[in-house]
Amino acid sequence: MKKTELYRLLEIAFGILIGFLVIGQYFREKKNFADLALGGQTTSYQAKNDTNLIHICRINPTEESSLMNGWKARGEKQVLLCLGNSQTHSINQMKAGEVVYAELLHQRFNQTDTNREVLCASIPNVNMEELLLVFEYWHTKIPIQAITLPVFMDDFREEGIRDVFFGNLVSDKFQISDSSSAVVKKINKTLRKMKPIGAGDEGKSDLAALDATVQEKSETFLNDWLNIHFSPWSYRPNVRGAMFNDLYLLRNTVFGITAETKRKMIPQRYSQNMDALRTLLEHCQSSGIKMILYIPPIRNDVEVPYNLQEYDAFKQEISILAAQFHSDFYNWEGIVPAKLWGVKASTNGTGKSELDYMHFQYQGHVILADSLLMALKKSVE
């Protein structure tokens, strides 16, 4: 046997070995990649009214129909829409019967207000472009009277529209109608490039880069066959997320990054997110929708993981922007006591738990619900 043939066989054998290792590691069970960073002490929870969701994290057929069916059954009231990220849908050290602030707000308005109700939409690691898209979509579906929006500096370090959270928009070829701004043009262009994700098979977006070729047809056939005969095949959107999460942990291990590491602002992403927030405020103002902007709670028994000068400048800019668009503004960064914050999964490969600056216990949700209730009543009554 020639050396080149031997090397080729070794490459194939090595590839098969890696394949089995990947299958063994990542296809053993279905995990929600969006919750990977939460850790064992923090639990995701979506607010409900009876069996219907009043709080969604993905705009897909299941979640949207649940929310819309419940809203219609309750009389199609005016909506007070809470937007957010994982802080909105997570509870640290959750106990039986505990719920997030969106459900507490929904319950309180149901008790005292026959004309309005609270609904909620949150996405983990969200950015302002995605929140603008969430608003624009729901603005075409439900009568929104007011919006509450926590403005996290972390979210201004993120970018892009992730199709996994916007399945219905891609399938319906949704476009934001007012496309005069650059950020809206960018979002609409991104949506047009996305391929529909089939029900139960979000992994079909893997084929988005292919045209109607022999390769696409063969891969589609293999996908369909594997979905029928190998149930874990449907896990692969989450597998991709898990693999990227592991690469993220490896990077943090190499560079010694932890939850306490100072997070510097990324100028280009900051500018893009600020443009999206400004556009969201403009559209709310022109539609007569009340906007409540707030600096969200953050752990305060240790120094925040930001450059303090950048963080102070960020809060000041949000305050000025709120005044410019006649929005209500609150700084609630210190309202949740230190004892109500917990720890999170390691952000590197050490496996050691780290301080959690984002997620708090149920009593923190009670405190935030009280603050938002006051702000909403002041805004709409």
Q: Per residue in 73-102, pLDDT tens? A: 999 999 999 999 999 999 999 999 999 999
* Confidence category of residue 311, pLDDT binned at 50, 70, 90: very high
Q: What are phi and psi of 334, to 5 degrees?
A: -110, 15
**DSSP strand pairing (144-150 vs 290-295):** parallel
Q: What is the pLDDT of residue 215?
A: 45
- Inter-CA distances, 294 with 154, 266, 331, 373, Å: 14, 21, 6, 13
Q: Per residue in 369-379, pLDDT tens? A: 999 999 999 99
- Cα separation, 55 vs 321, in Å, equals 27
Angle, helices 128-139/182-193, rounded to nearest 10 degrees:
80
- Inter-CA distances, 155 with 268, 279, 287, 362, Å: 13, 16, 25, 23
Q: Per residue in 265-301, pLDDT tens? A: 899 999 999 999 999 999 999 999 999 999 999 998 8
Q: Are 343 and 376 in contact (CB under 8 A)?
A: no
Sign of CA dihedral 32, 38, 43, 49: negative
Which domains does the chain show, CATH number per domain? 31-198+232-380 (3.40.50.1110)
Task: Measure CA of the first residue to CA of the last residue in the chain; give whole Å.
Answer: 84
Element (H, E) at 81: strand 78-84
Q: Are 349 and 340 in contact (CB under 8 A)?
A: no
Q: Per residue in 184-211, pLDDT tens? A: 999 999 999 998 865 444 444 444 444 4
Q: What is the pLDDT of residue 257?
A: 45
The partner residues of 379 in beta bridges, in order of sequence, read none
Q: What is the pLDDT of residue 300?
A: 87
Q: Is the pLDDT of residue 262 over 80?
A: no
CB atoms within 10 A of CB 265: 17
Q: What is the pLDDT of residue 242?
A: 56
Stretch 347-366: mean pLDDT, rounded?
78
